[in-house]
Structure 1
């Protein structure tokens, strides 16, 4: 059910509170905590209260989570990537900072995430050993040369389940990515140095459905 400023007080939201399983919210002040039956949650520009509500005890059936805003919420990310949500299998995030403290979330099968360094790619692979679909953006920073290979110790984090990869990065990083994903079957690549924000039929960054 979509929620915005035009329908936030719709009677159906209260009447079906305990049975709504899908929620798409684009309203920062909307309280999501009481929708305990949710299996799918999409938040556009979530505020702190909404992010703090995303906890396993509030959403025990959550399978799909999409947050369309740069996410620097360390507590929430640690919960997600440390297997706190027992049924969560699909995650869609905007720009984030991967962390070495993430333990493991083997139930996640599909992931969209943005990182900043080659080390953060390793953190993602280590935390999600069973992903079969991955959308990955590696943002360049002045301090990081994305043409560098991945760290040598990273090859202990090879992902044998990944089949579909959509990546926006530098082409120089691809060989190392391929070494980590020996069973890859489908690839979409976009050179981040050439990206101008315009859609292109051959180079467009695609989201998996």
Structure 2
């Protein structure tokens, strides 16, 4: 059987930091759905030997490299969160490259639909390349609490990340489906399972 004529539609999955989008993504994978994570793709494009890494080092200096030549993400994050202009430069470099990686990978999907997970789906404009958007939503106080517990970061860093991401209102404006993830993981899985069965009935992402 060939898959030449087979074209899965793409579900964009997003949510703010601490919303539980990673747990939602894992459930889609368990259900056999082809998935790519923007954070994974962001790692692929800055691997040693890739042109993007050379450009980053040229711009920020060797201090953004670890001893083994890999990108030191924490060092780079500090530099760009302190300077919006530097963050914009980095995004302009990486977003098109990440997009190429992602959509070439999604095109190979063999499930009826494929999931593209990105915390910056709305901000990067890449929601336009998806046929449907699922937002994992959570009250901001819970977002902050979960992120502090998980990452051990400072409240100031969490607020800086929240400020750089789209507001809940912006995300919800673009949502076809919204899942309010304010309960436990088994409940989240149950909701994803229901959405999955619904998505399997769709052609091209729309009823």
More helix by share: 2
More strand by share: 1
What's the TM-score once normalised by structure 1's chain length? 0.30
Instruction: Specify which structure has the bigger relative contact order, considering alpha-carbon pairs within 8 angstroms and separated by 6 or more residues.
Output: 2
